[in-house]
Structure formats: structure tokens, C-alpha cells
Structure 1
Amino acid sequence: MPDGSDDEYLAYVHGRTAELRRTAYLLCGDTHQADDFVQETLTKLYARWPRIGRVENVDAYVHTMLVRVFLDDRRRGWWKVRLTTGHTDRAAATGDPSDRPVVRAALARLPARQQAVLVLRYLCDKPVREVAELLRCSEGTVKSQTSHGLTRLRDILGPDHREPAVAASWERS
């Protein structure tokens, strides 16, 4: 466990930044916004770092912070300014490259919590229990949000995208 020193913080950040950026990108689909989410998360972590020794699983704690930053961003109203052009770097995405823009657009149309659950479950390959801990909800909530999210994705994508290229990557139990 970390002792709360700046050196320990820097070592932790250097070792985890790439994974945090990947998770943030999978949540939001934009590299610049993902960087903002990671920066906000790491800033909050630095403020709490002296007390981090009391945390049993630092990685889970930080991932929870990152997901909370993402969900808080999605809760902001119309007043939030977006300075992006819509062009994103898709280097962190997985699956068939031709499906990425379609799936990303469909994910963006889901409520933030369903989007977070699907990204954490299927793109970050986290088990139901861990997603429930990250989102601070019950495993049943994760399962129902997964079910509702997948149903909504199927509706958004339509029958043309129920082929193995997209459907197989999303239909895990």
C-alpha cells in the first residue's frame, strides 16, 4: 500500500496512466475528453493521496473515481461547452474497425450509466461484481443496466448490425 509520499504517487501514476486513458477513452470515445477525465481523476487522487494507505484496493478506488468523473460529466446540463470537432482517435478501440464509428455513435445515445456499464463489462472486460463496486450499486443493477443497454443498442443499431461482427462482441452473459 502506498505510504502517501509524492514519489509513491508519481510511481503509481506512471504505472497506471495508460490503462486509465484506455478506460476513459472507452467510456467517452474522444481522446481529448479522455485525457481530461484522467487528469481530473489524478488531480483528485493527488489531493487524497496522503490518506490512500487506508484504501484496500487502490486500483479499484481510482477506477471508481474515473467512472464518477465520467458520470458527473454526463450529468452536466446544456451549459457545458464542448470544444471538439467530433474527430476522434480510435487507436484505443477494439473489434472490427468498420464497426467502431457505428458502435461508438450508438453507445453515445445511451444513458450515461448504461454506457458506463457496457463499456466496463464488455470493452474493459470487468466482471459484474467489480462493475457494481466501481459504480457503487448492486450486482442486480449492473445486470439490469446491461440488459437494458444491450436492448437499446440493438434497437439503435437495427437488424443490419445483429451480424456476428457487432452482436458477438456485445452479447456475453
Structure 2
Amino acid sequence: MGKRYYCELCDKSFAGNLTNRKNHAKGFLHQKLRQEHYNTFKDPSVILTEQLSKKPCRKIQVGEECEFGDHCRFSHLTPDRKQQLENLIVAQNKKRLEDNAPLPDANIDEWLEKRNNRLKKGDDSDKTTADEEKTTLPEALANIPNLPPSLIPPSKQILRRTKGSDWG
């Protein structure tokens, strides 16, 4: 007996050859379940605009259940669902505003002043101060393991070789 393929979306198992997998992936049930899965990650504002652009479904207005469900070309948006989506959108917008707020302890002016002072010194100063010698990670990055090389501060030797440039 050959290997079997298991589709987690459909909760089905079948012979694991290429033809069977392709046929399964093209099947209506798999496509429907796949679309439902990805719809759970859709932005509420996108869902609301899509539903408002459609005409209302007659069966839903009468109080019957639509046989097409989420695949219906008409809107199944109820007033309760509409209010729920609007509340989600408002909550997301508040969160975005909070996330984009400047950090209270970040002082760009102080950093720019230090940088300008270093640049004014130029190539005349071969002496480096202890602050310039020492490069540390910001607190936000210090607790993250396996940082990419672009975020790790350069070694002292590299800083000495490249006098005019600075890290950060």
C-alpha cells in the first residue's frame, strides 16, 4: 500500500499521488473550506465594504437559511453583524493609533546632536571616547534571541576601520 495524503482542511485522507492531490485541491469542498479558512483572517473593514456593496439576500430577509452560505453572491449582513464589524474596525483603529504613538523615552534630538558633534570632529580626532567605543543594543532588541546580522552592532575593530560612518 502506498503513502497516503491527509488534507487538514477537509479532514480527508487519500492516496498520495500527484494526480489525486491536484484533483482534491480543485474540488468544490476543498475550495470552499479553503476560502472559509482564509476569510477568518480578512480585515473587518474589507468584509464590511464587500458586504455593503452587495444586494441583500432575499432568503435571509424572509428569515430562511440560504443554501449558498458564505458563497452566496448576495449579502448576508444582518444589523447585528454590521454593528459587530463596525466595533471591530473602531477597536483596530484605536490600537493602530496607540501603536504608532512615539515612544516616551526615545529622544531623537539628543541622538542627532551627538551625531552632529561627532561629524564636526571629522577626521581630525583619532581618539575615540568610551561612549563611541561601546555599542549596545536598544532595550527592545536586547531580549530577542538570534537577531539577524543587520541588527547586531558591529565590533570595535570594524568601527575603527570605518571612521566616518556610524552604526544605527
- Bigger relative contact order (CA 8 A; separation at least 6): 1
Query: Would you tell me which structure has more strand in proportion to its own residues?
Result: 2
Larger Rg: 2
Q: Normalized against structure 2, the TM-score is what?
A: 0.24
Query: Would you tell me which structure has more helix in proportion to its own residues?
Result: 1
